[in-house]
């Protein structure tokens, strides 16, 4: 629903749209939006490094930490030296590998439980009834989990760059409609295969798919696993890493676009390297992949989606040049508070335990911060 709407605009990202379309080009709003958008781009490379390291550890017995460092160094090297051109060529090649090999994994994965979905969930209930209870953690935790995925996915810079770059609205509508249904089907299948692995090994954790392929599928699937996961993780990691560097340079360092191209490229390479090093450290010390993903989505989704929605609700329909009736100061207060609150509810264990994550407090604080502070800032002059 959103893709055709934003495909009308020639912006590059959500921070770009919010700061220019709703906040009159305010550079502080753009910087805050850039910080929020940076979060998933910074942590997803780490999660992909973790995925590759799991596979290397299982297949070759190499120490996990060594695998993280080596894999991280490889994708940092070619992304930093080759830039977006290297990312495009590598991802096109990796994408073909993923599509071909994923078919084998899904086929044998479904065979692991005879493609009997009701029987699989009956088996889960027989092993641990609580594990089959979708509501065991309470409605608040469920709502937080749902909103983390919803707000996070709908604010991920990479997801929306495609819409902004689409040649027309019709193309964006068809492409996102196709992607929407493919995502539903593929994610459901992979999650179900992971559940099948859990019924065989309750200690498998977030290495379920890797364990199932290595231990319960034909031996040649292990080869496919190594190649396929490497392709999938590298293509995801380098894309997010490149996008993170673009966020840092374009929205945080140079929101006015005053840097000459050669300096932008230079700073982009430095930002790519630094983000990659951060990803390696995150991959070494994070407890599990899902933790990293939700952390990035919490900050990004909690900032950008409320700002986008509330800015549109308050839009000034009488203005020839579109603008929001919200004061720019209200954008700054709401979005700035969100970053602080979202981080607090993700990092502080007690706060995280209260809500199951930070996305719900972040969304509420952003919305209330914008609406309430707008009552105190009547100045609509944009600088």
Assign residue 161 the CATH number of its domain.
1.20.1730.10
- The C-alpha atoms of residue 8 and residue 10 are separated, in whole angstroms, by 7
Q: Is 266 within 8 Å of 326 (Cβ atoms)?
A: no
89-129 pLDDT, tens digit per residue, is: 888 888 888 888 888 888 888 988 988 999 998 999 899 88
Residue 98, in any domain of the structure? yes
Evaluate whether 15 touches 303 at the Cβ level (below 8 Å). no
In a domain, 63, yes or no: yes
Residue 382, in any domain of the structure = no
The domain tally of the chain equals 1
In a domain, 383, yes or no: no
Region of 91 please: left (phi>0), alpha (psi -120 to 50) or beta: alpha
Look up the pTM and report it.
Answer: 0.78
Task: Say if 79 falls within a structural domain.
Answer: yes
123 in a structural domain: yes
63 — alpha (psi -120 to 50), left (phi > 0) or beta? beta
- Residue pair 303/36 in contact (Cβ under 8 Å)? The answer is yes
| Distance in angstroms (rounded) separating the CA atoms of residues 34 and 246 | 10
**Ramachandran angles phi, psi of 207, nearest 5°:** -105, 25
In 10 A of CB 192, how many CB atoms? 18
State the Cα–Cα distance between residues 376 and 371, nearest whole angstrom: 10
pLDDT tens digits, 89-99: 888 888 888 88
Residue 114 lies in a domain: yes
In a domain, 219, yes or no: yes
User: What percent of the chain is modeled with pLDDT above 90?
Assistant: 8
The set of residues, in sequence order, having a beta carbon less than 8 Å from that of 256 and lying 6+ positions away, is 27
Owner of token pair 């004061």: 327
| Model pLDDT, residue 382 | 41
Q: Which domain holds residue 265?
A: 2-374
Task: List the pLDDT tens digit at each of the 383 positions of the chain.
Answer: 778 888 887 788 888 888 888 887 888 999 998 888 888 888 888 888 888 888 888 778 889 899 889 888 988 888 888 888 888 888 888 888 888 888 888 888 898 898 899 999 899 989 988 888 877 777 877 888 788 777 767 777 777 788 888 888 999 999 988 988 888 898 899 889 999 999 999 888 877 888 888 888 888 887 877 788 778 888 888 888 888 888 899 889 988 888 898 898 899 999 999 998 998 998 888 877 777 777 777 888 888 888 888 888 887 666 655 567 788 888 888 888 888 888 888 888 888 777 777 788 888 888 888 888 888 876 554 44
């Amino acid at each position: 629903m959103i893709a055709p709407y934003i495909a009308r605009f020639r912006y590059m990202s959500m921070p770009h749209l919010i700061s220019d379309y709703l906040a009159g080009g305010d550079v502080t709003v753009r910087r805050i939006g850039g910080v929020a958008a940076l979060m998933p781009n910074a942590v997803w490379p780490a999660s992909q490094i973790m995925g590759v390291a799991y596979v290397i550890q299982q297949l070759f017995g190499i120490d996990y930490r060594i695998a993280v460092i080596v894999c991280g160094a490889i994708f940092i090297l070619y992304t930093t030296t080759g830039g977006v051109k290297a990312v495009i060529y590598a991802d096109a090649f990796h994408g073909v590998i993923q599509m071909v090999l994923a078919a084998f994994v899904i086929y044998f994965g479904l065979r692991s439980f005879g493609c009997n979905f009701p029987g699989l969930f009956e088996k889960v209930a027989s092993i641990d009834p609580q594990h089959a209870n979708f509501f065991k953690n309470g409605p608040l935790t469920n709502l937080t989990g749902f909103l983390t995925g919803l707000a996070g996915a709908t604010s991920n810079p990479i997801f929306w760059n495609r819409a902004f770059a689409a040649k027309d609205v019709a193309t964006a509508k068809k492409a996102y409609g196709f992607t929407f249904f493919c995502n539903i089907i593929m994610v459901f299948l992979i999650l179900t295969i992971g559940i099948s692995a859990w019924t065989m090994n309750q200690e498998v954790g977030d290495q379920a798919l890797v364990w199932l392929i290595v231990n319960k599928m034909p031996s040649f699937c292990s080869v496919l696993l190594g190649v396929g996961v490497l392709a999938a993780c590298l293509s995801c990691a380098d894309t997010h890493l490149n996008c993170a560097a673009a966020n840092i340079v374009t929205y945080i360092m140079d929101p006015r676009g005053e840097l000459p191209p050669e300096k932008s490229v230079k700073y982009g390479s430095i930002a790519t390297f630094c983000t990659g090093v951060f990803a390696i450290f995150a991959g070494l010390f994070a407890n599990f992949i899902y933790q990293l993903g939700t952390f990035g989505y919490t900050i990004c989704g909690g900032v950008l989606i409320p700002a986008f929605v509330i800015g549109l609700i308050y839009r000034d329909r009488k203005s020839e040049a579109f603008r929001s009736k919200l004061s720019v100061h209200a954008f700054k207060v709401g979005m700035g508070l969100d970053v602080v609150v979202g981080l607090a509810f993700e990092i502080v264990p007690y706060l995280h335990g209260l809500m199951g994550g930070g996305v719900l407090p972040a969304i509420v604080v952003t919305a209330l911060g914008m609406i309430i502070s707008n009552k105190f800032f009547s100045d609509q002059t944009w600088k």
